[in-house]
Structure 1
Amino acid sequence: MQRQWFGRLCLVLVALVASGCLQAEQENPLLTGAERADAYLPLLGDERVGLVVNQTSRVGDRHLIDFLRDRQVKVQKIFALEHGIRGDVENGGKVEGGVDGPTGLPVVSLYGGSYAPSEAQVADLDWLLFDIQDVGVRFYTYISSLHYLMQACADYGVPLLVLDRPNPNGDYVDGPVLEPDFRSFVGMHPIPLVHGLTVGELAQMINGEGWLEGGAQCELTVIPVAGYEKSMAYSLPVKPSPNLPNDLSVRLYPSLGLFEGTSVSIGRGTDFPFQVIGHPADTVGKFSFTPRPVPGASENPKHRGKQLSGQDLRREPLSIRFNLEYLVDWQKRTGEGGEQYFSRPGFFDKLAGTDALRRAILAGQGAEEIRHSWQPDIRAYLERRQPYLLYPEG
């Protein structure tokens, strides 16, 4: 396990140069980090590897687990995050450890008990490899799991390899920056709600800004996406979680995710989650839907069995960005007071990363006034993140 940093750094640089990672590749096809095998297989060699993967961890049409094993990589175990390694565990559902049926590899759950592996669970590893598709929203918990993994790697001396993937919401930055008092598993870093970073860029920022406990840093290697710019539209080849079934739901997720702390439904328990908005008291909407149990996605959805009236957003353009107007308008449409509308105020504040948003809405402020209040923090963040960017902003 003990090795000289210099020797490993030389090996990383040799692999990156040989694969073209350090050259401009704008004219080349987009290749995810996982698809750039020539850049990372030399690093793994015959060393023992633990994988942090799920259903999005693909190399073409193959799962990364199978791809690595076919190339004689010594995969020792799999670490499972929220939704499990096959992506079939519903939001917040406990992820069980055990054995992965298709491969026979041991599975260690990092969701439902501990968020970080123990020293014993990584003692037999020479590398920890992270390859998970993120959606670029602070409260999407894969990046919180990344933080805990980085902490474990720093604490126990295990190097971390991140195979980067595009951010489908990476073309802009918006929303309140998280305040320290509202730090939780649905928001761990002082970044905007829509942060505009890939997982690899965020990992570099976590290290560089000293956000791990005690300012620790883990030994980090990021394999970048080839041919990627932040302005590019990116269609996810595999849905990242049960309630984000398509590209539009991913683009609407920043806007509709905050409704999880309110009395309003955003389509959990339907065939179109995160693509509609509804409430039993709404009298304006021409569209209606009835939430029902949906195994693996929402077995006890909000307003279960009730007909809700509201908005059908399925014709919104894929260019849509964070829309605060939905949240402001729907307080009026429900006809509810603050305590009823913000039915889970503490959770709402954790999602928002501040209580200022909820208080501003209750005070009757409009969307533009609220958004204006974020701008100084966003400008400071954009400057702060600059050293960690891996891709042109386009």
Structure 2
Amino acid sequence: MTEPELPSIGRRGVLLGAAAAAGVAGLAASGGLGGPTRAGAAGSVRTGADVAAAANWSAFAGQRIGIITNPTGVLSDSLASIVDVMAGSGKVEIGGVFGPEHGFRGSAQAGESEDTYVDERTGVTVYDAYGANDAKFEALFAEADVETVVFDIQDVGARFYTYIWTMYHAMIAAARAGLRFVILDRPNPVGGTARGPLLVDGFTSGVGQDRIVQQHGMTVGELARFFDGEFVAGKAGRRLPALDVIKVEGWQPDQLYAETGLTWVLPSPNMPTPDTALLYPGTGLFEAVNLSEGRGTTRPFELIGAPFMDHRWNARLNDAGLAGVRFREAYFNPTFSKHAGTVCAGVQVHLTEPRRVDAIAVAVTMLCAARDLYADFDWRAEAGGGQKGRWIDLLTGSSRFREQFERGAAPAALIARWRRELTEFDRRRQRYLLYPR
């Protein structure tokens, strides 16, 4: 099967004239708004929002826009919300804000959202868009009467982090409605390397809507280009009439987030640091088992354990000699979520060489060791008596991992199973990338 031809710059409907006059460079050969990517020293990185603001928001001149954002949608110098700054500038007509999981202002916990309301500061209507499918987004865009949809959220690079699927459904809706779509791009804090298994048909859910690997290795701008080129036409009947990416300046995908000079704003309540993000594409799998993944502690997805575990897990994991990490025997008492109010024994995963970490390999090794050491280890019990093990299937993208794991496969065998599909995914994504690998 041949891959779809990427549209020419002309077909993308990029508004270059006013933006260039205000200091935003034209489309680079890679296909995004903004100047050429350059290796950035600490403090030299500018997000897509910073670039757009420096151009007095001219990329949105004459357009009534709707914005999908959350507390991470800030300008680097002031840490002020882009919505607050846009509304106060008098340069942008905002038809509505669309709040994802946790809400626009970030007041909701995991699996929750903020109700639709009129924002007190800006007077703009904020619509509850958590869990919205493309039909719901299309209705919201019509209600807000927008011509351009803007997406600005800090992603963390894992397939099961829900913000990218909010973007996916919004893109399909925008394609159906004939709306322009603009990404204000931000760095991927786990870098530009793709890792892990591919989601397959029959295993789509709120934590994975289409066929990408577990750690996609793209910025949201690159991922949006991939979605548009690979999936949108099949869902909407046509591709987006205009997809523009206002690129990050001064960033390369091998940079650690701490090297960017950007302030880390929590993308969600349980993603407190860039270290958490580096581990999450792997340790997020502990959501699917009867161990605490550290929710209800100050180091979620780094502290992992259960009441039935002991010091042997820590010793087994350190003996594995995994690159970039060291394990410390740890005891903790979660304040909410699994095993709340009960002391758990387990480990804290410490990053020793962050550039070398393969979070998915780390998590697979941890899971295999827990399976082999503890008879009480099991898949998480599903609410309402649902199929046990279904959650690990949804997180890994198929039943293959679970089936092989239950047969006692070693970590190396589990990882080898997805190498071919990962290689093919990496080949497919190359034409959509904006930053050199």
Does the CA contact (< 8 Å) of 2:84 and 2:121 recur in 1?
no
1:132 paired residue number: 153
Structure 2 counterpart of 1:382, one-letter code: D
Distance in structure 2 (CA, Å) of the matches to 1:172 and 1:383: 12
Q: Indicate the RMSD between aligned Cα atoms, in angstroms.
A: 2.4
180-189 vs 328-337, which moves further:
328-337
2:284 aligned with 1:274? no
Structure 1 segments unaligned to the other structure (5+ residues): 294-300
Shift in Å at residue 351 of structure 1?
Answer: 0.8
Change (3 A) 1:70 1:99: closer
What does residue range 146-225 of structure 1 map to in structure 2 within 5 Å?
Answer: 146-211=167-232, 212-218=234-240, 219-225=242-248
Structure 1 counterpart of 2:24, one-letter code: S
Distance in structure 1 (CA, Å) of the matches to 2:352 and 2:93: 45
2:330 paired residue number: 287
Distance in structure 2 (CA, Å) of the matches to 1:16 and 1:150: 26
Distance in structure 1 (CA, Å) of the matches to 2:391 and 2:11: 46
Distance in structure 2 (CA, Å) of the matches to 1:16 and 1:162: 18
2:49 paired residue number: 34
Change (3 A) 1:138 1:40: farther
Secondary structure of 1:118's match? helix
Aligned length: 382
Does the CA contact (< 8 Å) of 2:70 and 2:99 recur in 1?
yes
Does the CA contact (< 8 Å) of 2:69 and 2:151 recur in 1?
yes
Distance in structure 1 (CA, Å) of the matches to 2:100 and 2:169: 11
Structure 1 counterpart of 2:246, one-letter code: I
1:310 paired residue number: 346
Structure 2 counterpart of 1:142, one-letter code: Y
Change (3 A) 1:24 1:93: closer
Structure 1 counterpart of 2:358, one-letter code: R
Q: Deviations over 1:151-207 (max 9, x none)?
A: 110111111111010000123221101111111120122111011011011110111
Distance in structure 1 (CA, Å) of the matches to 2:139 and 2:20: 30
How many percent of aligned residue pairs carry the same amino acid? Answer: 32
> Which of 315, 335, 348 is the aligned partner of 2:375?
335
> Which of 243, 251, 255 is the aligned partner of 1:228?
251
Secondary structure of 2:13's match? helix
Secondary structure of 2:354's match? coil
Secondary structure of 2:104's match? coil
Structure 2 counterpart of 1:88, one-letter code: S
Distance in structure 2 (CA, Å) of the matches to 1:8 and 1:192: 27
Change (3 A) 1:386 1:14: farther
Structure 1 counterpart of 2:256, one-letter code: A
Structure 2 counterpart of 1:274, one-letter code: F
Distance in structure 2 (CA, Å) of the matches to 1:102 and 1:108: 15
249-258 vs 327-336, which moves further:
327-336
113-122 vs 179-188, which moves further:
113-122
Secondary structure of 1:130's match? strand
TM-score by length of 1: 0.90
Does the CA contact (< 8 Å) of 1:265 and 1:278 recur in 2?
yes
Does the CA contact (< 8 Å) of 1:193 and 1:352 recur in 2?
yes
1:296 paired residue number: none
Does the CA contact (< 8 Å) of 1:110 and 1:117 recur in 2?
yes
58-67 vs 301-310, which moves further:
58-67
Distance in structure 2 (CA, Å) of the matches to 1:290 and 1:10: 52
TM-score by length of 2: 0.81
32-41 vs 345-354, which moves further:
32-41
Distance in structure 2 (CA, Å) of the matches to 1:98 and 1:13: 36
2:81 paired residue number: 63
Structure 2 counterpart of 1:207, one-letter code: D
Distance in structure 1 (CA, Å) of the matches to 2:207 and 2:97: 23
Change (3 A) 1:340 1:117: closer
1:257 paired residue number: 284
Change (3 A) 1:7 1:140: closer
2:138 aligned with 1:118? yes
